[in-house]
Chains A and B, each alone.
Chain A
Amino acid sequence: MAYEKDLNLEATELRLGLPGTSEESAEKQTSATLRSNKRALPDMNEGSVSGDNHSNVAAAKKCDQETASPTKAQVVGWPPIRSYRKNCLQPKKTEAETARIYVKVSMDGAPYLRKIDLKGYKGYPELLKALEDMFKFKVGEYSEREGYNGSEFVPTYEDKDGDWMLVGDVPWEMFTNSCKRLRIMKGSEARGLGCVV
């Protein structure tokens, strides 16, 4: 580990934290581990032939605590599952658990906003249905040419560039990646947007 070879420069290092804080050491270990799968834990019994079980266990526990979450995150090739198998299975869990996209939803005239997780929907039909249920309204018929026809409500969203766009124009994946907030427009404003070609 880096420690063994250091001239213990850490002791004299100027940092902002209080002396004795282990932020940086945890970070170092993380980056070292991520960079290569080397020696994630420091040597426990360097030079000894057979430590007794207790000290091993205690040392292991201690090391586990020191290097708890940062290093446990990512070690190359561990557990030993072929990446093919990992890829086939994990998408189900990982996407659901970690990649949530929460956006605020406002509706013209409604007293308060709502928040939804875009990852919880597979596509536009599901999303619109959920919005309809949430705000008790109905969108019109969508067409590429004319936008939403047949209703005074039009779903719009603000994208990464700050522009207000009509929901449904771009592919779903692109939409979830660029949508920052949703707004359900109503009335004359809506008509203007819906008619733009």
Chain B
Amino acid sequence: MRRNGAEDMSEDDERQQSPRSDLEFTSNKARYCKATGSASDHPDQVLENVLENVLHFLTSRRDRNSVSLVCKSWYRVEALTRSELFIGNCYAVSPGRATARFTRVRALHLKGKPRFADFNLMPPDWGAHFNPWLLAMAKPYPWLEKVYLKRMSVTNDDLATLAESFSGFKELVLVCCDGFGTNGLASFVSKCRQLRVLDLIESEVIHDGTDWISCFPQGESHLESLIFDCVEWPINFEALERLVARSPLLKKLRLNRYVSIGQLYRLMIQAPQLTHLGTGLFSPLEIAGQGDQELDYGTAFAACRSLVCLSGFREIIPDYLPAIYPVCANLTSLNFSYANINAEQLKPIISKCHKLRVFWVLDSICDEGLQAVAATCKELRELRVFPINAQEDIDSPVSEVGLQAISEGCQKLQSILYFCQRMTNEAVIAMSKNCPDLVVFRLCIMGRHKPDPVTGEPMDDGFGAIVMNCKKLTRLAVSGLLTDKAFEYIGKYGKLVRTLSVAFAGDSDMGLKYVLEGCSQLQKLEIRDSPFGDAALRSGLHHCYYMRFLWMSSCRLTRQGCQEIAHAMPRLVVEVIRSADMEMDDFVETLYMYRSLEGPRIDAPKYVTIL
């Protein structure tokens, strides 16, 4: 399940990423700094001490990067005072280099695979292993408290080692990770005595059969957050109930679909202090008639006066929905994206959710449901509409009508992800004008190459209006029939765009050229099935060092072209990935290119060729 948006507004929260490659700076300065490190004069030492104390308050990554570039003294002090280390691409820098520069890190935030790996576009075992980082940190960071991993491979042994190596470890957040199972969780929770946060979000957890919930240590627990809604295996409910009962600080609890509504009730009355709740199944385990007498679920919800974030509803029986009425007025975040409900079932709930800022939902609510959202949720900042039926060319429950309504009703909207079967330029243009605060605009018209159904035109003008009118836009995903014109608009007006996703779009190399030459802040570019070739890539190479990565799959790149690029850009790692059963074609199947200080990685599987 996608993590609930209240905490993380998509990947675009990385406003702090410096566009300049501070990696280049590192390679120049690191040597110099080491040589002169200990030989400071007395006055400088005083200044450094003062600076150190001041810099402790600086938390923004971008600001810290800027500070580190002032002079060698500031570089040194900044490195000493950086307690939270963010690495956007685990292969951009080696663990050793990172731990050498930053010696007092308490929290690590590490990202691995590119996003398109989520959609089966990358064969498994590509890499992004947590293990080398873990081993490198054990000695230098004995006080490590927090690890946040996204799209990394973590093994059971890693989890055990993590808990053993860091006695004060407090927070583990795994987003879209894999490679570990319930065994690893069991070792981790049993050894991690200070654990406050264990968040498993959209990760694949292998079923080893271990009852990991029972492995939490006895006695009062420090748990503040326990999120395991993505674990697709039953858990020991009695053990969970006891755990919740002895976790007075627990604020966030997101259950998996093996917890029935009756069990949910029992947990809720133990933990009325919850602020974030994932409801699990939200129906009884057996069909009515066996077991659960009708409990007063409404009372349980009413008792949770601090509840602001609600999710779950994994196999919802709509009859139980009224139970959540008491909390609707306080909700700032509601995730119905697993709840197959229609507009009529949604209306009584959404009409009470005046404070709602984040709403995730299925297209089963149809345009009518979206109109109801637009009518009430004036504070809405983030909307995600997912398809129940992720196929092309079927009837569209949501369309331009819903988008238009949202744009008119929710004018403070900042982030939208909208899956649909049909969309018009008119509605997209309307949104661009009604919602000037848009930072993230991701529209997925599921039929490939689909034009505007009313005018027959490509969708160029719609997306053009978005980049023109939404001056704060940093993340954009395009779809539908698009010519090079759309990319001309993006290149010309998308000056703040940092993440761009393109699929089945464009006519020629010009499309890519426009983007690479125009979007000066571009960090992450992911393209699939578009007719962009070597020439286009070559023309934009100068920009590539400023980007975190470039992904191009099923485009028109040749191996020759990629080879030339690899030669021209020594600090880029150029990976050519082919799937197991593909013959070597003239065209490269997948190009994944990223800047790195380390050169080609040594853990690449055999279907990856690093040029």
Contacts and interface: CB of A to CB of B under 8 A. Distances in A.
Interface of A: 35-41, 43-51, 53, 56-57, 60-61, 63-64, 72, 75-86, 88-90, 92-93
Contacts of A56: 458, 481, 483, 507
Interface in B369-403: 386-393
Contact of B510 (A43, A49, A78): A49
B444 A38 contact: no
B457 A53 contact: yes
A85 B484 CA distance: 32
Given A56-B483, A81-B387, A37 B529 contact: yes
B531 interface: yes
B193 interface: no
A173 B481 CA distance: 44
Among B116, B362, B386: residue with most chain A CB under 10 A: B386
A114 B439 CA distance: 59
B57 interface: no
B449 A72 contact: no
CB-CB nearest 8 A-B residue pairs: A77-B119, A79-B446, A81-B390, A77-B121, A45-B507, A38-B554, A82-B118, A80-B119
A50 B483 contact: yes
Contact of B458 (A57, A81, A83, A93): A57
Interface of B: 1-2, 116, 118-121, 176, 202, 204, 230, 314, 337-338, 340, 362, 386-393, 419, 444, 446-449, 451, 456-458, 481, 483-485, 501, 503-504, 507-508, 510, 528-529, 531, 553-554, 579, 581-582, 587, 589
A49 B449 CA distance: 18
A61 B446 CA distance: 16
B507 A57 contact: no
A79 B390 contact: yes
A86 B529 contact: no
Contacts of A61: 451
B484 A50 contact: yes
Contacts of A81: 119, 386-387, 390, 419
A38 B529 contact: yes
Contacts of A85: 1-2, 337, 386
Contacts of B503: 78, 80
Contacts of B338: 88-89
A84 B230 contact: yes
Contacts of B116: 77
A81 B503 CA distance: 13
Contacts of B120: 76-77, 83
B390 A50 contact: no
B362 A36 contact: no
B112 to A, nearest CB: 16
A38 B582 CA distance: 11
A93 B362 CA distance: 14
A77 B444 CA distance: 13
Contact of A36 (B119, B202, B444, B554): B554
Given A36-B579, A51-B507, A93 B202 contact: no
A178 B219 CA distance: 53
A56 to B, nearest CB: 6
A57 B504 CA distance: 14
Contacts of A83: 118-120
A82 B202 contact: yes
**Most A Cβ at <10 Å: residue of B118, B386, B449, B484:** B449
Contacts of B448: 40-41, 72, 75, 78
A78 B529 CA distance: 11
A80 B445 CA distance: 10
B449 A50 contact: no
Given A38-B554, A38-B589, 15 more contacts: A37-B529, A45-B507, A53-B457, A57-B451, A60-B481, A78-B503, A80-B118, A80-B119, A81-B119, A81-B386, A81-B390, A82-B119, A82-B176, A86-B390, A89-B340
A53 B116 CA distance: 30
B202 A39 contact: no
Contacts of B2: 82, 85
Contacts of B579: 36
B581 to A, nearest CB: 7
Contacts of A41: 448-449
19 contacts: A35-B581, A35-B582, A37-B121, A37-B528, A39-B531, A40-B448, A51-B483, A51-B507, A53-B457, A76-B121, A78-B392, A78-B446, A81-B419, A84-B1, A84-B202, A88-B314, A89-B340, A89-B362, A93-B389
Contact of A39 (B457, B458, B554): B554
A50 B458 contact: no
A64 B449 contact: yes
Contacts of A38: 529, 554, 587, 589
